Structure 1
Amino acid sequence: MANIVQFENVGLRYGTGPETLSDISFTLSDGAFYFLTGASGAGKTSLLKLLYLAQRPSRGIIRLFGEDTVLLPRKRLPGFRRRIGVVFQDFRLVPHLTAYDNIALPLRVAGIPEGEVEPPVREMLAWVGLQDRGRALPATLSGGEQQRVAIARAIITRPELLVADEPTGNVDPEMADRLIHLFGSLNRLGTTVVVATHDFHLLNRVPGANMMRIDKGRLYDPTGSLRFPPRRPDVPPEETS
């Protein structure tokens, strides 16, 4: 089973301050599901930024899709980023575009013919319960509705890696369960999923999901180890090598 992500002794500092992340080493298996937990300020968002190439590490090695991203030429970064779906904590919707057009944006950027854009966008709107809000601008949507648009936009291209930062933070428990189910469905289609959350009741919603915990910039598995054994949801624990 291939590793889609590999971190080796990665450190991250902003400016001349102390390290935000220290000695981070782990792998993510292709097609697996991961929950990343930790208190506010523990380093979850910083780790996710490294995963979706918004930040380069101060030290260490990061391999993504089999290539060393630290040495990756900048001209190749856009192609790598198109293989990653991101759900931002602050949504980052384009304010002058409707919900429909925000969701359609990744398809249009990828050059998908306009005639092939509408069916998947309509499907995504229905999946996140916004089938009647496609023409609404972000300013007219509630925080929870904006979050659902952001999620639909992130997954419409069926990315190889999905990174979600507190994706259920602005929705009610019923919608949170629905969105996690959606992530699980995408995962079963082959996407590696990483969900950062402080909502511990979600951790049992995806059978076989792997758990990671970050504390004061160091990464742990639930047993307290700094490394964790990657495991696909469809592989029972006793079969894990």
Structure 2
Amino acid sequence: MANIVQFENVGLRYGTGEETLSDVSFTLASGSFYFLTGASGAGKTSLLKLLYLAQRPTRGLIRLFGEDAVTLPRKRLPGFRRRIGVVFQDFRLVPHLSAYDNIALPLRVSGVSNSDIVAPVREMLAWVGLSERAAAKPPTLSGGEQQRVAIARAVIGRPEMLVADEPTGNVDPDMAERLLHLFESLNRLGTTVVVATHDFHLLGRIPNAQMMRLDGGKLLDPTGALRIPPPFAA
């Protein structure tokens, strides 16, 4: 499989402090499933921000969909971001829109007609167990319900890559497993999935998933040793 993401010697620093991420190098194969693990403060959210282009690295190379994402012109960012579904820890739902309209938003932004939106949105509402809450607005939803709306919104457009930051943190174990199966189904359709989690009970739920582990902003190999960053490509 071709690589959809390539990081080489990537470092990220906020302000003048120490690096949050240091010498991070890896590739993500198109159509694969990855768990990103690590203790709180290890750099998981920062790494995800680089993946969905919310942050540019301080140094190093990032290639995304075969292009240099570090020097990507700002005017091309919206088009790139539409190829990536994101599940945020803080949900980021539009408070004045219903659950239905929040989920429909990516399709509307992409120019899908209202008549073609109805069926997929209803299907997603059923998948996440919120069919009867379609008209409810985020302030009236529980944290777990808001999380499920956020996940449905992220996957409805069948993105090329899905990035999820602790997506099961606000739901019960049964719903967590159901949502993981939703991610797995999307992965089977060809979407590359990256799920950041500190819940090690989830790691064995996806048989073919690979694991990346961060410790203090550095990427470890499966044995727990630091990965040796490769030299820059010519």
Counterpart for residue 136 of structure 2: 136
Normalising to structure 2: TM-score of the pair? 0.96
The alpha-carbon deviation at position 222 of structure 1 amounts to 1.9
Matched AA of 1:186: L
- Partner of residue 2, structure 2: 2
Greater CA deviation, 144-153 or 69-78?
A: 69-78
Q: Which amino acid aligns with 1:81?
A: R
Q: 1: distance between equivalents of 2:67 and 2:37?
A: 27
Q: Secondary structure of the equivalent of 1:183?
A: helix
In structure 1, distance between residues paired with 2:161 and 2:61: 18
| Letter in structure 2 aligned against 1:29 | A
Aligned residues: 228
Query: Is residue 128–residue 152 contact of structure 1 (8 Å, CA) maintained in 2?
Result: yes
Cα offsets for 1:103-140 (capped at 9, x unmatched): 00000000001110010000000000001000000011
Matched with 1:231 is none
- Residues of 1 paired with 2:53 and 2:72: CA distance? 11
Q: Which residue of 2 aligns with 1:219?
A: 219
1:226 Cα shift?
A: 4.1
Contact 1:33 1:194 in 2 (8 A): yes
Partner-residue secondary structure (3-state), 1:224: coil
Q: Which residue of 1 aligns with 2:73?
A: 73
Query: What's the offset of the Cα at 1:221?
Result: 2.8
Structure 2: where are the runs of 5+ without partners? 229-234
Secondary structure of 2:133's partner? coil
**Identity of aligned pairs, percent?**
82
Deviations 1:78-116 (A, max 9, x none): 000000000000000000000000000000000001110
The alignment status of 1:198 with 2:198, answered yes or no, reads yes
Cα distance in 2, alignment partners of residues 134 and 202 from structure 1: 28
1:21 aligns with 2:21: yes
Q: Which runs of 5+ in 1 are unaligned?
A: 229-241
| CA shift digits 1:162-217 (9 cap, x unpaired) | 00000000000000000001000000000000000011000011011001110000
The residue type equivalent to 2:105 in the other structure is: L
Residue 99 (structure 1) aligned with residue 69 (structure 2): no
**1-structure distance, mates of 2:121, 2:223:** 41
CA contact (8 A) 1:100 1:134 kept: yes
SS of match in other structure, 1:117: helix
Residue 25 of structure 1, CA deviation: 0.2
Q: Which moved more, 1:138-147 or 1:215-224?
A: 215-224
Letter in 1 for 2:53: L
Q: Which amino acid aligns with 1:67?
A: E
Instruction: Please give the residue correspondences for 1:25-104 in structure 2 after superposition, counting only pairs within 5 Å.
Output: 25-104=25-104
Does the 8 Å CA contact 1:32/1:209 hold for their aligned counterparts? yes
Residue type of the alignment partner of 2:188:
R
Match for 1:80: what amino acid? F
Provide the rounded CA distance (Å) in 1 between the counterparts of 2:186 and 2:222.
Answer: 25
Name the residue aligned to 1:232: none
**Counterpart residue number, 1:208:** 208
